[in-house]
Amino acid sequence: MGELYNKMARDLALKNFAEATQKQYLRCSSHFVRYHMTSPAELGEAAIKQYLEHLLLKGAGPETLKLNVAALKFLYGVTLGRPKVVERIPWPKVPHKKPDILSGTEVETVLGAVRSLIPAVALSAAYGAGLRISEVCRLRVEDIDSKRGVIHVRQGKGKRDRFVMLSARLLELLRAYWVKVRPVGGWLFPGRKAGEHLHPSAVRKALDEAVRTLGLKKRVTPHVLRHSFATHLLEAGNDIRMIQAALGHASIKTTARYAQVSARHVARAKSPLDLLGTKAGAVLG
């Protein structure tokens, strides 16, 4: 893409997109150009639909297709200044699947099975404070505010700062971790190279190994721990607004989808059939 690539990179940076999103959009757009071997400035709606159909034939799922649509809408709508080219490109419908939720016992078992100390404590922090794995890896020592009982999350998703809970148990774990590791360089969870923080891939690898060792049938990822955190807060009777703040969601709608009513809540509910003919059923008229 040459100069166009650089221009798109600048546009993405100016829009303050997350670094990972910038890389994905640039990669998708580059593949689009490579497929047609023609400058996007010379291509239109038909070429975009042809490429998306090509992805479908290759077996691309709805999430991959949606990512490519988003990238091309940005390329044409922002970088090329030709929004009409992509205005009729539909957004693929992505099915909303409910991820597996771990029980409290399962969370404790999984965290206890992680062998490497730094990833183990990082995962405990992820669950204990509901953090994204990228947020955990970028924590600095000074972000742990033991006096106020909070963790300062800097530049989370959407480039927003927030404060999240620092549980007494997590604080105790972090203090023991500090004595053993004495992290240097400012990062709470240092990486292998001097001056770098722990990489999310190292945490995912350690978690995968623990899950394999346990033989769990559920799919367990750092994001599942975050989802379990939200669900467990809900089950403990916490207000949805508090959960929204803890997760760092800008919209309550995101939290409502994320921390969906758990199976335990569903099981507690009484069917109106059970109330028919009873004193409690009088409210039904």
Q: How far apart are CA 117 and CA 275, in angstroms?
A: 53
**Contact, 69 vs 29, CB < 8 A?**
no
A 10 A CB-CB count for 141 gives 14
- Active-site positions read 132, 157, 223, 226, 249, 258
Strand order in the sheet with 150-153: 144-145, 150-153, 162-165
104-265 is classed in which CATH architecture?
Answer: Orthogonal Bundle (1.10)
Q: What is the pLDDT along the chain (285 residues), one digit of tens a residue?
A: 789 999 999 999 999 888 889 999 999 999 999 999 999 999 999 999 999 999 999 999 999 999 999 999 999 999 999 999 999 999 999 887 777 788 889 999 999 999 999 999 999 999 999 999 999 999 999 999 999 999 999 876 767 788 888 989 999 999 999 999 998 889 999 998 888 999 999 999 999 999 999 998 888 999 999 988 888 888 887 778 888 888 888 777 777 765 555 555 555 556 665 666 778 767 665
For the chain, the structural domain boundaries read 3-86, 104-265
What CATH number should be reported for the domain whose range is 3-86?
Answer: 1.10.150.130
pTM assigned to the model: 0.70
Query: Whose CA is closest to 127, among 221, 41, 214, 29?
Result: 221
Query: Whose CA is closest to 219, among 107, 100, 123, 112?
Result: 100
